[in-house]
Structure 1
């Protein structure tokens, strides 16, 4: 269906692909993986024809429709969300636009003289709209938007009033409604809450076309794909199986390659030793010559390319008292909207609470109340003795000084620390070499999140309050963070839509629902087993 044949591609000085090949067959669901900057987005752009390979060719079977979702959603304004979604659904969207114009003309008194012609044309266009399944299309568009957690008011409201994250969902809905023969999805799981994520998972499982996607959500990828294509060092390698299988297979391949490399190195060392020893002796000249020739012909085995993954180790956090934070009879409202009416909740030492609840249930509000960036309207929030809090929120990334480099930002925060230990810290969070001289204003969302996290964890608090800490983080950084936080001795209160993060780190669950607030002993895995659902908005 889609074939990449011996493609080579260079961006500036960076070589992305060298004679790389891969295929996407009808109905296949493929995960595209590789380190940041390896060329995943370039690959998508070559398939859609937005970029050309320098050598080789990309071929798409005739008549194959492609839907491409990426993070750059462009301008959206002046239409409702549902109209914007339908607008991307191919020919039917043009017919729908003409229908709307004719409806406006029929209601316009200035057009009274042309009314017969307008009504006649309206009949024709309406017939065509029905033929194309237009009326069913609006229902489907609303269904997709509801699946992505849009409220009715948002569905019919001006798309221009939505935040960037919600506009991204509109762009995603457009591709899903289109149901093309092949979908290319670049990070569709970013900006989604857990309910939308699980809905999208089910949608993609039922989608009959071919799918090629990237995602930083390991669980999401694992449940959808049955093949993985890895970009590494300019080559494309295909693995049949889910993400978990790919990881195991890759580790096995690396181990085998390392063993072959070591065996060959030992054999080469032996040969070289023989040549060095006897090269001056005339009696061994023929043997030496034959061995030199043999060495020249040998195909050298490369050692496996090691992915740079540095483990981050916590300094021990100072011990807090047993009561970390207590909320008593807390009331909180925004305007007419009441979020909490009499919330009583306590975090004790070493507890790791994950907070579950649908959009608008008050998850971030709870974290703000605990962190002291919001005040309760009534009731008390009391921090315990010797508590040193670290609060990670999305807005923390906006507080970085754009004129300071990554390294200067860390130096400002820790003037007593040595250069070596700050460089190690930066390396753990994915900033190596010249990266650390980058000014904060040029950092991506993911880089900013990593820098804020590094600042917070270097001199660790004993109570971490984290609001979506894994947003923007790639798989490798996420794994590093999970491994580091597993060793962390302090207490935690956090919100995350990443199920692997939730399962690995929580030992308590606070569930916010319209029927009330429920507390569960045991972590996220036990919560799923006890309630039968993965998130509060998905009662089965």
Structure 2
């Protein structure tokens, strides 16, 4: 090994440590500050006196009821709306990513190409590296020592920047993000324009996540994601180096990623430390304190009024008039404002069903040329809540359509119990007539007077002239509340609910949970809302690879069981791999494989502990031992550099990325060897310092 290599490595390491220290000092850097922001639409004020700060690396959830102005605030932050009052201060050079700003891929571009395009800077560096390599091989360059040195310096700097930017793992990163958001390998080659609306949104989100932004702004990012993709996104955002500001009604999601909560309601913004659960706790404590203060104030006012009433005409009239003056000047504590949400929501069956509500025997579903699932055996008892989980497109909604008689089964039997009356909450709400008014939509369910219909709609937050709105102009949240109002009128004892919490704000979700928890009938629920499932589910049916698997308990119980199973599988795989390495070592079959990816990855543990006893221990006083330790350290560095070179070549080879799993393993092996090489340099430095 060249004698100068460790010295060069130490200089690089020192430089990195200085950069890291600088970054740590800047970690509390303010990247955005809003002061007294206000937004008006004509005479209507959306919000006012909105003041906040976002620091580097912040993870902030923006919450509030539908219509509070959250998306309007986002538009102000992105510059698509000008605030009526106040100011925004951005730190110079801050890069901001917002989903609505992601452009549509060109026609004919594949899903993978559209995502990879977001790493254009990496691709440009890759092309320039190739150009410099060719330049270094030209006879003219080789003959000119000065020119060669200049090209080599440019090449070394560019390769370093390319490596630091994750250039060798660019394709692997794209595949990881696309798979994480629910795209299969087969989807990668599809033209982007043939994707469904939900898939296009997921592709846009993937492209957004691939770029390194200082602030990422996400408006309901978990819409169109199944649970697996949502959990992947949580992990990704939690480790994201930039700041994140997210609008979401997914309480589980907010708990996982947020360290602060911005609460926007009734035109004002309040900032709370902690995640969503902590926010709820602080809100409850604040509301309780307000109630107590208000009650105390009211008691004091009542006492003064009683004194004035009793003494106004008596011997103490002068004192009573003084009290009256004091009372008139008294600053009164305002009545605490309770959150406006669904009220008195209860689903009451017209009649009770038999104990055995539903039996499915060897049930199968398929579309022409496409099987969905088979072999479903299930018995549903009265009062149960069964959650149905699975990836989008797995066949969950098709199961509901079979139960409702809208789709014939491909095989098996469906048997309903006596007196079972089902009702369906459709995710797409396709049964709604866009030309009906809300009054007409409600009165079509059951004969009732206009006053009765208005009273019912009021319980679902439709008041005043809202009842004359056409269904077609309603927002997603308003349509969801209308469907719930219709469901309320069915008197059903078996509710089939397909994503019932979509488009509902958090307060409405909680009210719906309360109503369904008290429902004496039976529930079959398709949902990606894990908080909702934790509250209600008694059993979980997971649909994967065309088969249902049953888990007892709620969502948390299901996740714990899955984690236990995955841990057992991983442990078995590690044991098998360890046994394989032992066999390979005994037979010598691994010799000479340092230049192969599998050999490099398999030998990561070799030498990992070499010299560690000397690396951080006492100084070596024996000259022979010092020399021996130095040789061992340099030998280990040379070996690791050879492995790193092999893995670097593999990552630069396009064939590596034909197998997504191989690409992932190669990238992981590369990162592991880099860490070991850093450790080896540290050990070498320790030996040198002991001399």
**Which residue of structure 1 aligns with residue 221 of structure 2?**
188
Determine if contact 1:325/1:370 at 8 Å carries over to the other structure. no
**Which residue of structure 1 aligns with residue 20 of structure 2?**
none
Q: Provide the rounded CA distance (Å) in 2 between the counterparts of 1:502 and 1:253.
A: 28
**Which residue of structure 2 aligns with residue 213 of structure 1?**
246
**CA displacement at 1:332 relative to structure 2:** 2.8
**Which residue of structure 1 aligns with residue 689 of structure 2?**
none
**Which of 87, 90, 94 lines up with 1:60 in the alignment?**
90
**CA displacement at 1:201 relative to structure 2:** 0.7
Determine if contact 2:304/2:323 at 8 Å carries over to the other structure. no
- Say whether 1:29 aligns with 2:62: no
**CA displacement at 1:286 relative to structure 2:** 9.3
**Which of 314, 327, 334 lines up with 2:367 in the alignment?**
334
Q: Provide the rounded CA distance (Å) in 1 between the counterparts of 2:382 and 2:366.
A: 29
**CA displacement at 1:291 relative to structure 2:** 6.5
**CA displacement at 1:23 relative to structure 2:** 1.0
Alignment of 1:206-355 (within 5 A): 206-271=239-304, 288=321, 292=325, 294=326, 298-309=330-341, 310-355=343-388
TM-score normalised to the size of structure 1? 0.85
**Which of 194, 200, 208 lines up with 1:161 in the alignment?**
194
**CA displacement at 1:534 relative to structure 2:** 11
- Say whether 1:92 aligns with 2:124: no
More deviation in 29-38 or 373-382?
A: 373-382
TM-score normalised to the size of structure 2? 0.67
**Which residue of structure 1 aligns with residue 538 of structure 2?**
507
**CA displacement at 1:290 relative to structure 2:** 8.8
**CA displacement at 1:153 relative to structure 2:** 2.4
Q: Provide the rounded CA distance (Å) in 2 between the counterparts of 1:290 and 1:509.
A: 65
**Which residue of structure 2 aligns with residue 50 of structure 1?**
80
- Say whether 1:408 aligns with 2:440: yes
Q: Provide the rounded CA distance (Å) in 2 between the counterparts of 1:420 and 1:356.
A: 41
**Which of 515, 520, 529 lines up with 1:498 in the alignment?**
529
Cα 1:448–1:295 shift into 2, 3 Å: same
Q: Provide the rounded CA distance (Å) in 2 between the counterparts of 1:180 and 1:363.
A: 37
Determine if contact 1:193/1:359 at 8 Å carries over to the other structure. yes
Q: Provide the rounded CA distance (Å) in 2 between the counterparts of 1:314 and 1:484.
A: 7
String of CA shifts for 1:256-280, please: whole Å, max 9, x gaps. 1222223334434555666677788
**Which of 441, 448, 452 lines up with 2:479 in the alignment?**
448
Alignment of 1:75-86 (within 5 A): 75=104, 78=107, 79-86=109-116
Q: Provide the rounded CA distance (Å) in 2 between the counterparts of 1:246 and 1:366.
A: 38
Greater gyration radius = 2
Q: Provide the rounded CA distance (Å) in 2 between the counterparts of 1:366 and 1:214.
A: 32
Q: Provide the rounded CA distance (Å) in 2 between the counterparts of 1:146 and 1:516.
A: 21
Q: Provide the rounded CA distance (Å) in 2 between the counterparts of 1:77 and 1:97.
A: 23
Q: Provide the rounded CA distance (Å) in 2 between the counterparts of 1:135 and 1:445.
A: 43
Q: Provide the rounded CA distance (Å) in 1 between the counterparts of 2:126 and 2:357.
A: 58
Determine if contact 2:34/2:50 at 8 Å carries over to the other structure. yes
**CA displacement at 1:386 relative to structure 2:** 1.7
Cα 1:283–1:252 shift into 2, 3 Å: closer
Cα 1:515–1:231 shift into 2, 3 Å: closer
**Which residue of structure 2 aligns with residue 439 of structure 1?**
470
Q: Residue 5 of structure 1: SS of its match in structure 2?
A: strand
**CA displacement at 1:296 relative to structure 2:** 6.3
Q: Residue 390 of structure 1: SS of its match in structure 2?
A: strand
**Which of 7, 12, 15 lines up with 2:42 in the alignment?**
12
Cα 1:351–1:64 shift into 2, 3 Å: same
Determine if contact 1:388/1:463 at 8 Å carries over to the other structure. yes
**CA displacement at 1:348 relative to structure 2:** 2.8
Number of residues of Structure 1 aligned to a counterpart in Structure 2: 509
More deviation in 499-508 or 262-271?
A: 262-271
More deviation in 433-442 or 196-205?
A: 433-442
Q: Provide the rounded CA distance (Å) in 1 between the counterparts of 2:257 and 2:453.
A: 39
Cα 1:375–1:60 shift into 2, 3 Å: same
Q: Which has the higher contact order (CA 8 A, sep 6+)?
A: 1
Determine if contact 1:193/1:497 at 8 Å carries over to the other structure. yes
Q: Residue 254 of structure 2: SS of its match in structure 1?
A: helix
Q: Provide the rounded CA distance (Å) in 2 between the counterparts of 1:192 and 1:65.
A: 26
Cα 1:77–1:330 shift into 2, 3 Å: farther
Q: Provide the rounded CA distance (Å) in 1 between the counterparts of 2:454 and 2:113.
A: 50
Determine if contact 1:353/1:492 at 8 Å carries over to the other structure. yes
**Which residue of structure 2 aligns with residue 116 of structure 1?**
none
Q: Provide the rounded CA distance (Å) in 2 between the counterparts of 1:339 and 1:14.
A: 50
**Which residue of structure 1 aligns with residue 585 of structure 2?**
none
String of CA shifts for 1:424-452, please: whole Å, max 9, x gaps. 43233332332222101101222222212
**CA displacement at 1:410 relative to structure 2:** 0.2
**Which residue of structure 2 aligns with residue 457 of structure 1?**
488
Q: Provide the rounded CA distance (Å) in 2 between the counterparts of 1:534 and 1:471.
A: 30
**CA displacement at 1:39 relative to structure 2:** 1.2
RMSD: 3.3
Structure 1: tracts of 5 or more residues without a match: 100-123
Cα 1:274–1:519 shift into 2, 3 Å: closer
Q: Provide the rounded CA distance (Å) in 2 between the counterparts of 1:233 and 1:284.
A: 44
Determine if contact 2:351/2:493 at 8 Å carries over to the other structure. yes
More deviation in 190-199 or 379-388?
A: 379-388
Q: Provide the rounded CA distance (Å) in 2 between the counterparts of 1:160 and 1:208.
A: 31
User: Higher strand fraction: Structure 1 or Structure 2?
Assistant: 1
